[in-house]
Structure 1
Amino acid sequence: MNENEFRASQAGGVPPTYSHPHYQQPVAAAPVLTPPRPKKKRVAALVTAGTLAAAVIGGASGAAVVALDSGTSTGTATSATTVSSTTNTDVSAVAAKVLSSVVQVNVTTRQGEAIGSGVILTADGKILTNAHVVSDAVGDVTITLSDGTEYQASVLGADTKADIAVLQAKGASGLTAATLGDSGKVQVGEQVVAIGSPGGLQNTVTSGIVSAVDRDLSDISSGEPDTPFGQTANTASDSPSYTAIQTDASINQGNSGGPLVNMNGEVIGINSALYSPSATSTGSVGIGFAIPIDDAKTIIAQIENS
């Protein structure tokens, strides 16, 4: 207090008060990294408190949690680079180009119905999605095009460690295949668009920027018997095999398997995870992760050649 305030207090005035402008209340729950699993219609999300954790954003099996080892680093992202001033920022044009190549994936499980997203790879109905979206499917899955047309689909193959699966729509023809880009050319700071079915709301478009590339997720480990990545990740070798593109575009449950695209409408990543600040918060806080499309291309080729 200043000298006048001190004298006033000594003279019987109101006692002075003190504030701590930089003090922050402690956080009640430890942060969790929650991948956007498919929206559950009848099954509640299962996210546990504890150490920093990660869970898939679109798995039919629910929101299993994989804990990040508190004694290890989550990796260092590649430094930012300058984005060309000629970058197209017309999100509506991107949406118009890409929406017809994005599908909703409905999965029936023993626990109920789960919803994820997918990307059309070929005109005859090959669909790219996350492995955790279809890992607990009972029988065929249903894909719904942006115009509402439905097809039954089977799982051609999946790599649970890479969290990539390829589906085949039965009897499909004339579908609009997405254009796959080059994730090796992605720059920090460039504008991106995410498309999918968060909460079952098909054809939802959100936009943001690339926050980081080469974000290392290999330190994820857990004692959970069934992690979102289909592994009991007790060692580094059981952790996800990819480094992720980080984005602040809004990604939520049901976005799993949907595309992250650049402003040319090219798919540069497959949305797979989101970070939540607490165990009870599962919505987007502007920290989402996508599997680089170059990694996905490798898995697609392996599945098709198997």
Structure 2
Amino acid sequence: MTEQSFPAMSGSLVEPQPVVVAPKFWRRAAPMLTAATLVAGLFGGVTGAVIASPDSPATSTSVAAQTISNTSTLDWSAVASEVLPSVVQVNVGNGLGSGVVLSADGKILTNNHVVASAGGQITVKFNDGRELPATVVNTDASSDLAVLQVSGASGLTPIKWADSGSVKVGDAVMAIGSPSGLQGTVTTGIVSALDRKVTVPGESRRASSVSYQAIQTDASINPGNSGGALVNAAGELVGINSAIYSPASSSGEAGSVGIGFAIPSNTAKQIVEKLS
């Protein structure tokens, strides 16, 4: 499979190129609902973008064409009700991202770029309104994942895991998180493609780029969704939301255009076992 990644182009006469970006986590200093202007790294702290050639044909490494699942009969309200207690908001300084509950005693999975530049207090806000301090247990920059531990947490509802290897193009999915600081937001869509190569350059010359094979979805994902859940119609985690594609000429202008990416749950589960 050919990776659709090219160096960023500069110069005022160059036609703006579509970019795959990790939108920077939403900053509360920005006006509500205009946070898309603050996008930079995969919904968290990583700045930079992967340039996708607009002339390259979109490739799916799964099936060239499949019948799209009929989502009209799904009870998404029941799915949301079940999963929302397992999705949290991760507050980092003047910014925020999302996360999923791993254990009843407060282990949380999120994107590394959400907490990479924390440098101070991290708190986790739950769906019931509680907000508790948290610390970083471990991170893996190469996979853009991190595990947190919430202090004083108990009786939480861990996310249910799905086998991402069984996910098919056309499957119905729901994204849950805190886009633009709007906690508990849910959006629905389908799996658009599988094994999509996503690469985000490091924030600086010293920082390594992040690459992984992602699940592509048209469920709306925006800054603040980083680290949140992508679940199937059974309310099981199939991926960790982490990046979006945008036709903007820079990551700072990026917002959802219906092309989002999630780290597959099987990949995330393997990393969690190493980090916990």
Give TM class, smaller chain.
0.7 to 0.9
**What are the superposed Cα offsets for residues 254-286 of structure 1, whole Å, 9 maximum, x if unpaired?**
000000000000000000001111126322100
For residue 231 of structure 1, what is the aligned residue in structure 2?
207
**1:251 maps to amino acid:** I
**What are the superposed Cα offsets for residues 110-130 of structure 1, whole Å, 9 maximum, x if unpaired?**
xxx111000001000000100
Alpha-carbon separation, structure 2, partners of 1:274 and 1:98 = 22
- Give 1 or 2 for the bigger CA radius of gyration: 1
Alpha-carbon separation, structure 1, partners of 2:102 and 2:162 = 12
- CA pair 274-84 structure 1, distance change in 2 beyond 3 A: closer
For residue 20 of structure 1, what is the aligned residue in structure 2?
none
| Alignment check: 8 A CA contact 1:250 1:286 kept | yes
For residue 181 of structure 1, what is the aligned residue in structure 2?
162
Task: Using the aligned pairs only, state the percent identity.
Answer: 51
| Alignment check: 8 A CA contact 1:37 1:255 kept | no
Alpha-carbon separation, structure 2, partners of 1:81 and 1:119 = 30
Answering whether residue 78 of structure 2 is matched by residue 93 of structure 1, we say yes
**1:123 alignment partner, SS class:** coil
- CA pair 222-136 structure 1, distance change in 2 beyond 3 A: closer
| Alignment check: 8 A CA contact 1:210 1:245 kept | yes
**1:77 maps to amino acid:** T
Alpha-carbon separation, structure 2, partners of 1:76 and 1:178 = 28
| TM-fit CA distance, 1:68 | 3.7
| Alignment check: 8 A CA contact 2:162 2:236 kept | yes
For residue 237 of structure 2, what is the aligned residue in structure 1?
267
**2:78 alignment partner, SS class:** helix
For residue 179 of structure 2, what is the aligned residue in structure 1?
198
**What are the superposed Cα offsets for residues 88-127 of structure 1, whole Å, 9 maximum, x if unpaired?**
621111101100111000001xxxx111000001000000
| Alignment check: 8 A CA contact 1:193 1:261 kept | yes
How many aligned positions are there?
A: 254
User: What does 1:35-50 align with in structure 2 at a 5 Å threshold?
Assistant: 35-42=22-29, 45=38
- CA pair 84-31 structure 1, distance change in 2 beyond 3 A: closer
For residue 138 of structure 1, what is the aligned residue in structure 2?
119
Alpha-carbon separation, structure 2, partners of 1:147 and 1:27 = 48
For residue 286 of structure 1, what is the aligned residue in structure 2?
258
TM-score (norm 2): 0.83
- CA pair 99-31 structure 1, distance change in 2 beyond 3 A: same
- Unaligned runs of 5+ residues in structure 1 are 1-25, 48-54, 234-238
Alpha-carbon separation, structure 2, partners of 1:247 and 1:46 = 19
- CA pair 31-301 structure 1, distance change in 2 beyond 3 A: same
TM-score (norm 1): 0.76
- CA pair 184-201 structure 1, distance change in 2 beyond 3 A: same
- CA pair 105-82 structure 1, distance change in 2 beyond 3 A: same
Answering whether residue 227 of structure 2 is matched by residue 257 of structure 1, we say yes
For residue 17 of structure 1, what is the aligned residue in structure 2?
none
| Alignment check: 8 A CA contact 1:82 1:187 kept | no
User: Which residue, out of 243, 247, 255, partners 2:213?
Assistant: 243
- CA pair 82-185 structure 1, distance change in 2 beyond 3 A: farther
For residue 57 of structure 1, what is the aligned residue in structure 2?
43
| TM-fit CA distance, 1:65 | 0.9
| Alignment check: 8 A CA contact 2:22 2:49 kept | no
User: What does 1:149-168 align with in structure 2 at a 5 Å threshold?
Assistant: 149-168=130-149
- CA pair 67-224 structure 1, distance change in 2 beyond 3 A: farther
**2:38 alignment partner, SS class:** coil
- CA pair 72-189 structure 1, distance change in 2 beyond 3 A: closer
User: Which residue, out of 77, 84, 97, partners 2:61?
Assistant: 77
**1:283 alignment partner, SS class:** coil
- CA pair 251-27 structure 1, distance change in 2 beyond 3 A: farther
**2:240 maps to amino acid:** I
- CA pair 69-28 structure 1, distance change in 2 beyond 3 A: closer
| Aligned CA-pair RMSD | 2.7
Alpha-carbon separation, structure 2, partners of 1:281 and 1:86 = 31
**What are the superposed Cα offsets for residues 216-261 of structure 1, whole Å, 9 maximum, x if unpaired?**
12xx3648516xxx9333xxxxx41x20000000000000000000
